[in-house]
Amino acid sequence: MEKLLSKTAFMHLLECPLRLWMESVRPELVPPSSAIDRQAMENGEQVDVLAQRLFPGGVKIEGFNRVGFANTQKAIAKGAKILYQPSAVADGLTARADILVRGQGKTWDLHEVKATTSVKREHPVDVAFQKMCFERAGIPIGNTFLVRLNNRYVRDGEIDVAGLLKEEDVTQDAARFEDRIPEFIEQAREVMSWGKQLTPAQLRTCSNPRKCAFLAAYLEAVGAGKRAEIFESDPSFDSEAIAQALGELVYPLHFLDYETFGGAIPPFNGFRPYEQIPFQFAVYVLDEPGGTPRTFDFLADTFADPSVELVDALREAIGPDGSVIAWNAIFEKSCNEGLAKRVPAHAKFLRSINKRMFDLMLIFKRKLYDDPAFNKSASLKAVMPVMEPDLSYKNLNIQEGGTASASWPILTDPKLPKAKRTALHRDMIDYCRLDVYGMVRILQKLDRL
DNA sequence: ATGAAGGCACTGGCCTATTC
DNA sequence: GAATAGGCCAGTGCCTTCAT
């Protein structure tokens, strides 16, 4: 039987041809999905289920591809007016829609649900592919809509679906892509016919060679030749400019890092979709240059809005004077701004922190200190292992922020056995501390230049 | 996924230098 | 003096980056 081209595969082509190739020709090389990716998928499923409540009384269609299509046809024949997750198969293409609603005459309106707060560039193409697939399969589509999150919605009690979601007509936007779909389909089939080894020309189709995880996985698999070149270190720096930038700092220095939790559906009252909820911090305080830092940790132990306790703990850690240092400080600043709104009694304190915040990342972003081994990235995960190789995430059970975030609901689940809770608590503290301690060490190194 | 900021290319207004 | 070309700067809009 002919291999079907799914909407997912089609969209992966547009993201990066190497992704589609690897998933169809060398699936064993596909890098495992990150915690962030998994969270995005989970958000998608949750929002999709909620969106069905906007169109009550529909029939849930089981199965994908040919099975799903057969079930879709059966439901239509029985006179169903609203379908959840119906599939269509035609001309070697397959797509699964989120919601179909019987419209005027014989046509159906298609509602695509996205766990996003704004219409993205790829959404109209996505809808156009589905529409083509359903129509070729004999299910005519009238208007097409995008259902998405309303980022002004603030939860108050039970989720109000009509307030959380909003819908817009994308019929016109999708129609603009109709003519180009067949050409993309041809490209997809071409990419899927590439061999197990890629030619340089094929590799160059990668849409973002510097960051693409699929290109990296392929190069890793074909040989270690690239490795030495990537990790060769040859730092360059402007010590005068660095000294000038660091001259702004006022002791005692407070190094701060938050871990946050948040998703499409706000878990607590008072939060918007995707609003970040700080549940953990680590602070290192350096009273004088070259001294030994004092450390402070906070980690909320119940799954409830932790803002008040967190701010109380923060007041213990951060005094009224001295700089506050963070990496990509804009993130910590926005957390503080959110905390200030929820804990107005301490708003003044939180905003004073923001006024004396110093972003250590800017030294690297502005290339006052640069090293080819940073791989053109100024993230802490790129800089720290090069500048302080003995500090490594490799020995930790938690190695990235996304995992730390996902760990919080697990930690606070009352059903978690005590021994596991103790171990996870330790791991989460260790991870957060390493980020902060890395900043301490990097600053001390810059000071010595 | 968000959201703010930085980077970068481009635009338009203004000035100066050059040429007739 | 008028017309044109080029340089400069501020403003813009789009894209990328970073944290979780």
* A275, closest nucleotide (Cα–C1'): B2
A380-421 per-position pLDDT tens digit = 888 888 888 888 776 667 666 667 888 899 899 999 999 989
Q: Which residue has the higher pLDDT, A67 or A3?
A: A67
C-alpha closest to that of A439 among A307, A295, A310: A295
For chain A, the average pLDDT equals 85
A43 touches strand C (CB under 7 A): no
* C1’ C19 / CA A280, Å: 14
C-alpha closest to that of A361 among A274, A255, A240: A255
> In b/e form, how buried is each residue of A211-232, taking b as 16+ CB within 10 angstroms?
ebbbbbbbbeeeeeeeeeeeee
Phi, psi angle pair for A227, to nearest 5°: -55, -55
> In b/e form, how buried is each residue of A45-60, taking b as 16+ CB within 10 angstroms?
eebbebbbebbeebbe
Q: What angle do CA A268, A269, A275 make, to 5 degrees?
A: 65
Q: Which residue has the higher pLDDT, A346 or A365?
A: A346
Residue A76 pLDDT > 90, yes or no? Answer: yes
Domains along chain A with CATH numbers: 5-195 (3.90.320), 239-448 (3.30.420.10)
* C1’ B15 / CA A421, Å: 71
pLDDT confidence of residue A243: 85
A354 touches strand B (CB under 7 A): no
The confidence band for A337, taking pLDDT boundaries of 50, 70 and 90, is confident
pLDDT confidence of residue A383: 86
* A365, closest nucleotide (Cα–C1'): B6
Report which secondary-structure segment, H or E, holds A189: helix A181-192
* A37, closest nucleotide (Cα–C1'): B1
Measured CA to CA in angstroms, residue A363 lies from A245, A249, A336, A370, A442 at distances of 8, 13, 23, 9, 11
pLDDT confidence of residue A400: 67
Question: A50-64, A162-176, A258-272, A390-404: which has the highest mean pLDDT?
Answer: A50-64
* C1’ C2 / CA A449, Å: 60
Question: A39-48, A78-87, A244-253: which has the highest mean pLDDT?
Answer: A78-87
Which residues lie across from A141 on neighbouring strands? Answer: A108
Residue A426, amino acid: R
A90-117 per-position pLDDT tens digit = 999 999 999 999 988 889 999 999 888 8
* C1’ C13 / CA A1, Å: 49
Phi, psi angle pair for A391, to nearest 5°: -95, 115
pLDDT (mean) for A30-48: 82
pLDDT confidence of residue A2: 67
* A361, closest nucleotide (Cα–C1'): C18
pLDDT confidence of residue A230: 35
Task: Give dist(CA A422, CA A411) in Å, integer.
Answer: 9
Which strand C bases fall within 7 angstroms of a protein CB?
16-20
Per-state percent for chain A, helix, strand, coil, to nearest 5: 50, 15, 35
A331 touches strand B (CB under 7 A): yes
C-alpha closest to that of A10 among A205, A127, A185: A185
Which strand B bases fall within 7 angstroms of a protein CB?
1-7
